[in-house]
Amino acid sequence: MSTDIPIWRIKYLPSKLKEICGKKKCIERLEEIIKEKNFPHLLFVGAEGIGKTLIARLFTKEFLGENHDTNTKLVYADVPLTEEERKLAKSEAYVSTSKIGSMAGKKITTPAFIQVKVKPFVQLKVLGGAPFKILIVKNFDVLGDNQQGFRRLMETYGSNCRMILITTRISRIIDPIISRCQIFLISQSDFVSFSHLLKTIANKESLELTDEVIEILYRISDGKIAKAIDLLQLCCISGNIISSNSLYEFVNTFKNDQIRKLIEICFEGAFSKARTLMRDIIKDYKFNTRQFFSHLMDELINLPLSRFELIKLINIIADADFRAIDGRDGDIQISSLLSKLCLFSEKM
């Protein structure tokens, strides 16, 4: 069955906690929890794409056993609500009978996200023989002010439902939440287990993989296994022997070259063209304003410019990013940045 899957990163997805490579300490702690059959709310912190969600998923699966499917839910905090869900949240607003003063008789609304996606699950009783339900919230930091709503939820429904919050940036999470959770710092996998895993994959796919190539892979992919496997699969299209040359070749084409192109157009000073491309990129990749800035930043740092010029560029981006915090229209802020980049190239 599993041999039919054409995408390796899915084909070699671990199905048990034990199989996860390179996160020994973390896995040991989790297995201890499974033995004890009880845990407080958890907070998983770690860089993008190193398998936090996968660990959370496998952990809940092993913890709840056969009651897993009915008692867990995975919620993405960064997916915007649909129009219907918004309406639903609005219609569930209620008039307070207990409040006095200026709040009396006013409609009380909880944040729509919590109202629609979290509350219904948290409030339901545990099904089957499970000790409690488990809610996994991904990208928890995106919630911003809505995090406040979780404080009460975690206390009132804590005995009924435990939460596993997943985030990339712990600094964006408010202190009261952190204090209510046990923190798991999830690091990237170490080189030894990384190379071990890649070698087993290479064996199964009958590839020839030298240690040198593995080292390069490790460096390029920042220890992110999914990314490394993707690269490996792309490389093997051209043959079963993977050399460092072909690897570099693919890395260059695989990278997101759209943003690089955008910068090139900006440096030619063609603003209108740049803006059209910028809108296309945002449409294709669904970047929000902040993501767009950070991708631009990543690309700009690699430019062959003097350090003074680089600092100037960073200044321009920082300024635009700062304004976008309060601004209402992201398009204006990004356009403003592009126009400044166009001017910057003229002065160089």
Partner 1 sequence: MCAESNIPWVEKYRPKSIKEMALPTAKVEGHRVDLAEELRSFVKTFFLEIKKINKANKNTRGYNRTVGEKEQKEEAKLDSKKAAILLEGPPGIGKTSIIYALANDLNMEVVETNASDTRTKDSLQKKLNETTKSHGIMDFIVQSKQKLILIDEVDGIYGTKDRGAVPAIINLVEDTQFPIIMCSNEYKQNLQPLYNVIRRFEIHPLSEEEIHKITKHILTKENISILKPEELDLVIKKNSGDLRGIINDLQGIIQGSNENNNKELIFSLNRDTTEEIFTIIRDLFQKVNNLKEARDLTNKSDVDYNFLYQWVNENLPTFLTFNEDLAQAYENLSIADEIFGRIRKNMYWGLLPYFYDLFAGGVALSRKRSPPTKGFRRVVFPRFSRSGALTAAEKDFIEKITNKYEISPFEVIQDFLPFLKRLSSSSRKELKRISEWLDLDAKEKKLLK
Which residues make up the interface to partner 1 (CB under 8 A)?
Answer: 4-7, 10, 13, 49, 53, 57, 74, 76, 78-80, 90-91, 105, 138-139, 230, 233-234, 237, 253-254, 256, 269, 271-272, 275, 279, 282-289, 320, 323, 326-333, 335-336, 339-340, 342-343, 346
Whole-angstrom distance, CA of residue 59 vs CA of residue 34: 8
* Cβ distance to partner 1 smaller for residue 124 or 332: 332
Cα separations in angstroms, 305 against 321, 345, 348: 22, 11, 10
Q: Answer for the pair 207, 31: CB distance below 8 angstroms, yes or no.
A: no
* Cβ distance to partner 1 smaller for residue 36 or 83: 83
Q: Minimal distance in Å, beta carbon 276 to partner 1? A: 10
Cα separations in angstroms, 114 against 75, 94, 153, 173, 333: 10, 15, 9, 16, 30
Q: How far apart are the first and last CA of the chain?
A: 59
* Cβ distance to partner 1 smaller for residue 310 or 343: 343
Q: Minimal distance in Å, beta carbon 342 to partner 1? A: 5
* Cβ distance to partner 1 smaller for residue 101 or 179: 101
| Residue indicated by tokens 């592009």 | 338
* Cβ distance to partner 1 smaller for residue 69 or 212: 69
Return the bridge partners of 135, or none. 73, 163
Closest by alpha carbon to 44, among 147, 159, 138, 149? 138
Q: Minimal distance in Å, beta carbon 273 to partner 1? A: 10
Q: Minimal distance in Å, beta carbon 187 to partner 1? A: 20
* Cβ distance to partner 1 smaller for residue 193 or 339: 339
* Cβ distance to partner 1 smaller for residue 29 or 323: 323
Whole-angstrom distance, CA of residue 135 vs CA of residue 327: 33
Q: Minimal distance in Å, beta carbon 179 to partner 1? A: 27
Cα separations in angstroms, 83 against 44, 248, 264: 30, 45, 38
Q: Minimal distance in Å, beta carbon 264 to partner 1? A: 15
Q: Minimal distance in Å, beta carbon 335 to partner 1? A: 6
Whole-angstrom distance, CA of residue 291 vs CA of residue 333: 13
To 10 degrees, the CA torsion angle through 238, 214, 44, 116? Answer: 0
Q: How many residues would you count in the chain?
A: 348
Closest by alpha carbon to 193, among 326, 22, 17? 22
The three-class DSSP label of residue 3 is helix
* Cβ distance to partner 1 smaller for residue 31 or 319: 319
Q: Answer for the pair 165, 42: CB distance below 8 angstroms, yes or no.
A: yes
Q: Minimal distance in Å, beta carbon 140 to partner 1? A: 12
